Amino acid sequence: MSKILIIAEKPSLAKTIIKAVGGKGTFKDFYEDDKYIITSQFGHLLELKSIGEYQNNLERDKKWTLNDLPYFPKEFQYKVKNDLGIKARYDLIKELIKRLDVIEIVNAGDPDREGETLINIVVYRIFDELQLKKKVTRIWLDPLTEEKIREELQNRKPIEDTKNLFIEGKTRAYLDWLYGINLTEYNTLKVGKLMNTGRVIIPLVRWVYDRDMQIKNFVPEKYYPINITINKNGENIKLDFKELKFKNKLQAENTLNELRDKKINVVDIESKEQIKQPKKLFSLSTLQTYMFQKHKKPISKTLELVQSLYERGYLTYPRTDTEYLSEDEKDKVKELLRNINNTDLEFRDLKSIFDSNKVESHTAIIITNKTPKIEELKEDEKQLYLIVRNRFFANFVKEECILDKTIVKFDLGEYKTNITGTAIKQQGYLKYENDIGESEIPNFNLNEEFIPTLKIEENETTPPSHLSEADLIKLCKNPFKNLLKENGEESENNSDDDEYKKILEGSMIGTEATRAIMMEKIKNVGYVKEEKNKLVITDYGIKFIETLELLNENLWKEKTAELNKNLKRIYKGELSSDEVINIAKQELKDIMSQNIMITKVNSDINKEILGKCPKCSNGDIIENSKGYGCSNWKNGCNFFIWKNIASKNITKENIKDLLSKGETTEVKGFRSKFGKTFNCRLVINNGKIEFKS
What is the 3 state secondary structure string of 441-502?
Answer: CCCCCCCCEECCEEEECCEECCCCCCCCHHHHHHHHHCCCCCCCCCCCCCCCCCCHHHHHHH
Confidence at residue 503, expressed as pLDDT on a 0 to 100 scale: 82
pLDDT value at 636 more than 80: no
Cβ atoms 483, 490 nearer than 8 A:
yes
Peptide bond into 143 cis (omega under 30): yes
Residue 639 has pLDDT above 90, yes or no: no
> If DSSP codes are grouped into helix, strand and coil, which group holds residue 659?
helix
Distance (Å, rounded) from C-alpha 567 to C-alpha 113?
11
490 band by pLDDT with thresholds 50, 70 and 90: very low
pLDDT at 485 over 80: no
More confident residue, 607 or 502: 502
Cβ atoms of residues 79 and 53 within 8 Å = yes
Backbone angles phi, psi at 129, to 5 degrees: -65, -40
Distances (CA, A) of 491 to 138, 317, 494, 640: 42, 30, 9, 48
Percent of the chain beyond pLDDT 90?
74
Tell whether the model's pLDDT for residue 487 goes beyond 80. no
Burial 87-117 (b: 16+ CB within 10 A, else e): eebbeebbebbeeeebeebbbbbbbbbbbbb
Gap between the Cα atoms of 372 and 395, Å rounded: 21
First to last CA, the chain: 46
SS3 for 268?
A: strand
Separation of alpha carbons 350 and 182, rounded Å: 49
Check residue 98 and give its pLDDT. 97
Share of the chain above pLDDT 70, in %: 97
Residues with Cβ within 8 Å of 501's Cβ and at least 6 positions away in sequence, in order, are: none
How many residues would you count in the chain?
693
Of 159-168, 229-238, 316-325, 637-646, the one with minimum mean pLDDT is 637-646
Report pLDDT for 492.
42
The pLDDT value given to residue 491: 44
What single letter denotes the amino acid at residue 475?
L
Pairing mode of beta strands 245-246, 449-450: unpaired
| The residue type at 648 | K
Sequence letter at residue 310: Y
User: How confident is the model over 354-405, as pLDDT tens digits?
Assistant: 999 999 889 999 999 999 999 989 999 999 999 999 999 999 999 999 999 9
Q: Which domains does the chain have, with CATH numbers?
A: 3-45+81-155 (3.40.50.140), 173-217+465-593 (1.10.460.10), 222-277+401-460 (2.70.20.10), 301-379 (1.10.290.10), 611-692 (no CATH)
- Helix (H), strand (E), coil (C) string for 542-595: HHHHHHHHHCCCCCCHHHHHHHHHHHHHHHCCCCCHHHHHHHHHHHHHHHHHCC
Per-residue model confidence (pLDDT) at position 408: 97
Query: How many CB atoms lie under 10 A from the CB of residue 596?
Result: 12
Asked if residue 139 has pLDDT above 50, the reply is yes
Q: What is the pLDDT of residues 196-252, one digit of tens each?
A: 999 999 999 999 999 999 999 999 999 999 999 999 999 999 999 999 999 999 999
Query: Would you state the pLDDT for residue 557?
Result: 87
Is a pLDDT exceeding 60 seen at residue 606? Answer: no
Residue 193: which pLDDT band, with cuts at 50, 70 and 90? confident
Q: Is 104 helix (H, G, I), strand (E, B) or coil?
A: strand
Q: Which pLDDT belongs to residue 484?
A: 62
Farthest-apart Cα atoms in the chain, separation: 100
Q: How many whole angstroms separate alpha carbon 303 and alpha carbon 169?
A: 20
Which whole number is the average pLDDT over 331-346? 95
CB within 8 A of 271, min separation 6: which ones? 404, 405, 406, 407
Instruction: Give CA–CA dist 410/420, Å, rounded.
Output: 11
Which positions ≥6 away from 559 have C-beta within 8 Å?
Answer: 199
Indicate whether 626 pLDDT > 90.
Answer: no
Cβ atoms of residues 412 and 271 within 8 Å: no
685 pLDDT band (50/70/90 cuts)? confident
pLDDT at 25 over 70: no
Using pLDDT thresholds of 50, 70 and 90, give the confidence band for residue 493.
Answer: very low
In tens, the pLDDT along 550-597 reads: 999 988 888 888 999 999 999 999 999 999 999 999 999 999 999 898
Strands (E), 88-234: 102-108, 135-138, 157-158, 222-232
Where does the pLDDT of residue 638 fall: very low under 50, low under 70, confident under 90, or very high at 90 and above? confident
> For residue 488, what pLDDT is reported?
39
Does residue 602 surpass a pLDDT of 70?
Answer: no
